[in-house]
Chains A and B, each alone.
Chain A
Amino acid sequence: MPRWLAHTIVVILLIAGISLAFARVGYAWNWAGVWEYRGLLVRGWLTTVGVSLAALAASVLVGALAAVMLRSGRPLLEAAARVYVELIRGTPLLVQLLLGFYVVASAVGLENRYVAGVLVLALFAGAYMAEIFRGGLDAIPRAQIDSARAIGLTPSQTLRLVVLPQAVRLVLPAVAGQLVSLVKDSSLLSVIAISEFTLAAQEVNSFTYSTLESYLPLALGYLALTLPLSALARLLERRFRYETA
């Protein structure tokens, strides 16, 4: 059976199952109320896209910096990066957002909640990126560095022409996967009152009292972002697999 057919069958069965469940509960749909607030949902969705993209870009920079520090061979830099990675990965994003916005951002006079939110999200994702990048750099065999040196490349040429092109191929699938998490994690920004997608759905719900009609679009809106990213991750994984063999 071709893969697309298998997927189609599974999705049809899933939709049928969900429809059946709603039919049995006898849920009285009321889409009219939610439709009035569609602009709110669309703006929230766009905010989620924007915030996720900004946080992704920043998290790549943060992760790269931390990965370089982790491999620097200098005890103080290594310790700083290690503490950062473990602290961030070991605590809930919710706590980081609340502390980051109400304590750290306030203390330094950063009042824009969007900037503060993106920064906290970037620091959060950056800790995971750091480990992904470190793994990618560690996977480049020592012999490759030797070959680059033997040819007479400078250290910066070695990084640019030999190490990074290979490391980037190795980590791309994992980075794409991390982006999926980032999009969903951005829903927590609602706790510091950023009007992203999840907060928009909460507001629509409180205006209309149509809970499912408010939250079902939320699920579909996230899927519209995360499914293509997952597909991209799998595609990259397939494409670069043979080169590492």
Chain B
Amino acid sequence: MNLVIADLVQRFTDPRTGRLATVLDGLELRTGEIGALVLVGPSGGGKSTLLRILAGLDVPTAGSVAFDGVPLPRDEAALRGYRRTMGTVFQAYNLFPHLTAMENLVLPLVHVHGLSRGQAVERVREPLERFQLAAHAHKRPAELSGGQKQRIAILRALVVRPRRLLLDEPTSALDPDMKAEVLEMIGELRAAGTEFILVTHEMAFARRAADEIAFIADGRVAFHGSPAEFFAATADPRVRGFLARTLGT
């Protein structure tokens, strides 16, 4: 994929204070032809807001985003069509609690992508086995561990065969071993050629999986480059401070 973002601005009215907050402040990014982009940076810096725009969930106040030269639409009907070509996973509460894992996987295939139930069940069978989730297919989310929930959520995003996955801190709400099992799954998908954009605080994983890293702070891209460049000493004091804090060096 190739992602070009120009002068992206996102402002929200705070419902309590009624004041306008600028979350993205003229953000610019121009990636190469890459498979995996990792977004890092301090909380409140605008990473998740950017990912929601990339996922077609929110429309920016101003600016433009284009994947492979195709600009993102701005009207809701076209955005819905766009969302159907993306696989988005949030930090938590992705799955529908009233449905089993299997029903969660089948729902978008049947109701959005027009497969019959039989075709949908057939399509999810192999991925469920590949990621050792077949034994849990009949369970509801309340009966699954946090890691299993997130892996089912990633599968649900994946089985519709999206152009790419958009993952917003998919491991932030998990215990360390569950983090590892989810990251391992993302790593496998990466190795199999799945394109993704990932927001994460897992710096070791970012280093391993990313083609490019963008460091987002104060609503802009403060640094953008290869993992090697990112982890080498960079000039920006915000990146240095962030690395010192997250890597504990």
Contacts and interface: CB of A to CB of B under 8 A. Distances in A.
A241 B35 CA distance: 43
A205 interface: no
Nearest to A168: B98
Contact of A161 (B111, B156, B160): B111
B90 A166 contact: no
A87 to B, nearest CB: 28
B241 interface: no
A147 B83 contact: no
B92 interface: yes
Interface string B23-49: 000000000000000000000000000
B71 interface: no
A165 B57 contact: no
The A contact surface, by secondary structure, is: helix
A243 B80 CA distance: 29
B97 A151 contact: no
Interface in A55-113: none
B94 A147 contact: yes
Interface string B188-221: 0000000000000000000000000000000000
A146 B142 contact: no
A2 interface: no
Given A152-B83, A152-B112, A243-B142, A166 B93 contact: no
Interface in A134-172: 141, 143-144, 146-154, 157, 161-162, 165-166, 169
A141 B91 CA distance: 13
A242 interface: yes
B158 interface: no
A74 B99 CA distance: 33
Nearest to B112: A152
Interface residues of B, number: 25
B9 to A, nearest CB: 22
Given A152-B80, A152-B83, A165-B98, A141 B57 contact: no
A143 B94 contact: yes
Interface in A207-245: 242-245
Contacts of A165: 98
Contacts of A169: 98
B108 A152 contact: yes
Interface string B47-80: 0000000010100000000000000000000001
Contacts of B80: 149, 152, 154
B231 interface: no
Contacts of A146: 57, 90
B93 A245 contact: no
B146 to A, nearest CB: 14
A136 B94 CA distance: 19
Q: What band does the interface of chain A fall in when counting residues whose beta carbon is under 8 Å from B?
A: 20 to 34
Contacts of B94: 143, 147
B136 interface: no
B92 to A, nearest CB: 7
A110 to B, nearest CB: 41
B90 A149 contact: no
Interface string B148-181: 0000000011001000000000000000000000
Interface in B85-107: 86, 88, 90, 92-98, 107
A144 B96 CA distance: 7
Contacts of B86: 150
B140 interface: yes
Nearest to B52: A146
B240 interface: no
A153 B113 CA distance: 10
B112 A243 contact: no
A25 B111 CA distance: 70
A147 B98 contact: no
Contacts of B238: none
A149 B80 CA distance: 8
A162 B96 contact: yes
12 contacts: A141-B93, A143-B92, A143-B94, A146-B57, A147-B95, A150-B83, A150-B86, A152-B83, A153-B112, A166-B97, A243-B97, A245-B142
Pick the 3 closest A-B CB pairs, nearest first. Answer: A152-B84, A143-B93, A150-B88
